[in-house]
Structure 1
C-alpha cells in the first residue's frame, strides 16, 4: 500500500511545495468536513474515500515537516511513547517510509 506525496497539478494550478502550513491546514479542515458528511450519509465507500483524503493532507503536512528538517521517525517514536505512557495498547502497526524520487 502506497500513498503519494503530491507535488503539482497543472490542470488545477496547484503547487503543494508553495503551500504554507496554514494553507495545508485549511485544506485539512475542508477534507475533515467532507469526511463528516460521508459519515452522516453512512456510505462506507464514501467514508473510505474521504478518510484517505484526510490522510493524504496529513501526509502533506508530514512531508512539509520532513523538508523543514524534522526527523519524522523520531517524531513517531516520541508520539508512540506518549501514547504508551498514557496506557494505550497497540492493536496494529502502520509503517511509514519516505522515498523521494
Structure 2
C-alpha cells in the first residue's frame, strides 16, 4: 500500500459534518481540516488520494472564496488526488466554477 492509499482528507468547518463523513467512510483513514491552512498542512502530511472539500470555509463560510482558493492549492500540490467538492451554499455558479 502506498502513502495515502487509504486516506481521505475531509475539509469541512462543521464538526458535525466531519463526524458524519468519518462514519460514512469508516473503511478509510479519515483526516479532517477545518480551514484552508489546516487542509494544506494535512495534505502535505498525509498525502491522501481523495479530498472532500467544502467550498464554504472560514473566514468566508457563507461564500466560496476560501474553498476555491483551497481547491487551487490542492490541485497544485497534489494533482493526482481526486477532489470531491461539497457545498451547502445555494450559489450554483461557484459549484460549477469548482468543477
Q: Which has the higher strand share?
A: 2
For CA contacts below 8 A with separation 6 or more, give which structure has more relative contact order.
2
- TM-score w.r.t. the length of structure 1 is 0.29
Q: Which has the higher helix share?
A: 1
Q: Which has the larger radius of gyration?
A: 1
